[in-house]
Copies of this chain bind each other. A is one copy, B any other.
Amino acid sequence: MPPFSREVHLIERPVGLPNETQFKIVSTVVPDVGVGEILVKNLYMSVDPYMRPRLSAQTELDTPMTGAAIGRVAQSRHSGFSEGDYVVSACGFREYFLATGSNALQAVRKLDPDGMPLTTYLGPLGNTGITAYGGLLVIGAMQDGERVFVSAAAGAVGSTAVQIAKIKGCHVVGSAGSNEKCEWIKNELRADAVINYKKENIHEALKTAAPDGIDVYFENVGSEHLNAALANMRALGRIPVCGMISSYNNEGTLSDPITALFRMIYGRITMRGFVSYEFESLRPRFLDDMKGWIRQGKMKYRETIVVGIEHAPAALIGLFKGDNIGKMIVQLAAE
């Protein structure tokens, strides 16, 4: 075992867009493995927009940050795990971690890659995928053939949502902030229409792209995207609220005034916030569906992979600058 493991600490709470000086890479001694414990070497970790609001409140200062990670058991003194086993955990932002008896069972899940690349278990086959799946099918109660709008459609969750909606025969409109992203959404993800929100008026573009209105708006952004969606929702429309990235670097305040929330009333529209852990009971069905779609070529994904834990803060910050297409992943060690 190496004597040291590096980990990422938050050392100062950001106001607005975070910067790298608010994070610190800390070296710690890798502890000895006691009876009933396992030592995991992380290979890949996820950085996600949801992490930003936590930096303002829940994330503890001067302790390792948390997030989804894929690792390999480097040493095991637990009967349920063997050296070399792959595991999924919420213990990202560190190169090694020790899982003690209780959290080894609770927070670390053994992973059978089943022939799929390991990183897909952070993306379409991981919480990213089940977020899109449960958000559309459970929270959004999306029906085959409906009209669906997905914001941040080149992001990890958004790009998965676009494709699930297409697989279900929906008319899908996606939005993103660059031509390259828009082309990917249209040409590869097969969205019916795409909106470059940096160049187009979202309201007008959405009206053109979905002249009969929207049944389901998969909300990742807030602000003008939400206004435009509300103004174009059909009666009894649903808005699963996955994220509101436009508020994350603004202390929760949406960056544009909200002009159309009253439309919920006559439209009898539902907005519902949700978190992926609500869909745990769906996971077996989700994995079956998603593996099938990937193998059939119906579910594409892209990854933006940054190598080295020292780049994790920059990777996280990059999410808010539109740096990523698809899933942003930090590779911590070679497979």
A positions within 8 Å CB-CB of B: 50, 53, 222, 226, 241-244, 247-248, 251-254, 257-275, 278
- Given the complex of chains A and B, what is the CA–CA distance between A151 and B263 in angstroms? 19
A93 smallest CB distance to B (angstroms)? 20
Residues of chain B lying within 8 A (CB to CB) of residue A253: 257-259
A274 & B263 in contact (Cβ 8 Å cutoff): no
Please list 5 pairs of residues, one from A and one from B, whose beta carbons are closer than 8 Å in the complex, sorted by A's number: A50-B265, A252-B263, A254-B261, A264-B272, A270-B273
A17 smallest CB distance to B (angstroms)? 16
A265 & B274 in contact (Cβ 8 Å cutoff): yes
Residues of chain B lying within 8 A (CB to CB) of residue A265: 50, 241-244, 273-275
A274 & B268 in contact (Cβ 8 Å cutoff): yes
Residues of chain B lying within 8 A (CB to CB) of residue A271: 264, 270-272
- Given the complex of chains A and B, what is the CA–CA distance between A247 and B272 in angstroms? 21
Interface-central residue, A241, A242, A263, by most chain B CB under 10 Å: A241
A259 & B270 in contact (Cβ 8 Å cutoff): no
A243 smallest CB distance to B (angstroms)? 7
Q: A251-B259, A257-B258 are in contact. List 18 more A-B contacts (CB 8 A).
A: A226-B261, A241-B261, A242-B265, A243-B262, A243-B265, A247-B262, A248-B262, A252-B260, A252-B263, A254-B259, A258-B258, A264-B271, A265-B274, A265-B275, A268-B273, A268-B278, A269-B273, A271-B271
- Given the complex of chains A and B, what is the CA–CA distance between A265 and B258 in angstroms? 18
Residues of chain B lying within 8 A (CB to CB) of residue A267: 273
Residues of chain B lying within 8 A (CB to CB) of residue A53: 262
Residues of chain B lying within 8 A (CB to CB) of residue A275: 265-266, 268
- Given the complex of chains A and B, what is the CA–CA distance between A36 and B258 in angstroms? 49
- Given the complex of chains A and B, what is the CA–CA distance between A272 and B267 in angstroms? 9
A296 smallest CB distance to B (angstroms)? 32
Take A252-B263, A261-B247 as given contacts and tell me if A272 and B273 are in contact as well, using a CB distance cutoff of 8 Å.
no
B264 & A273 in contact (Cβ 8 Å cutoff): yes
- Given the complex of chains A and B, what is the CA–CA distance between A332 and B49 in angstroms? 58
B268 & A259 in contact (Cβ 8 Å cutoff): no
| Residue from B242, B252, B259, B264 within 8 A of A241 (CB atoms) | B264
- Of chain B, the residue at the smallest CB distance from A53 is B262
- Of chain B, the residue at the smallest CB distance from A267 is B273
Residues of chain B lying within 8 A (CB to CB) of residue A257: 253-254, 257-258
A270 & B268 in contact (Cβ 8 Å cutoff): no
- Given the complex of chains A and B, what is the CA–CA distance between A18 and B270 in angstroms? 30
A262 & B252 in contact (Cβ 8 Å cutoff): yes
Residues of chain B lying within 8 A (CB to CB) of residue A278: 268
- Of chain B, the residue at the smallest CB distance from A54 is B266
- Given the complex of chains A and B, what is the CA–CA distance between A247 and B271 in angstroms? 18
Residues of chain B lying within 8 A (CB to CB) of residue A263: 252, 273
Residues of chain B lying within 8 A (CB to CB) of residue A226: 261
A324 smallest CB distance to B (angstroms)? 20
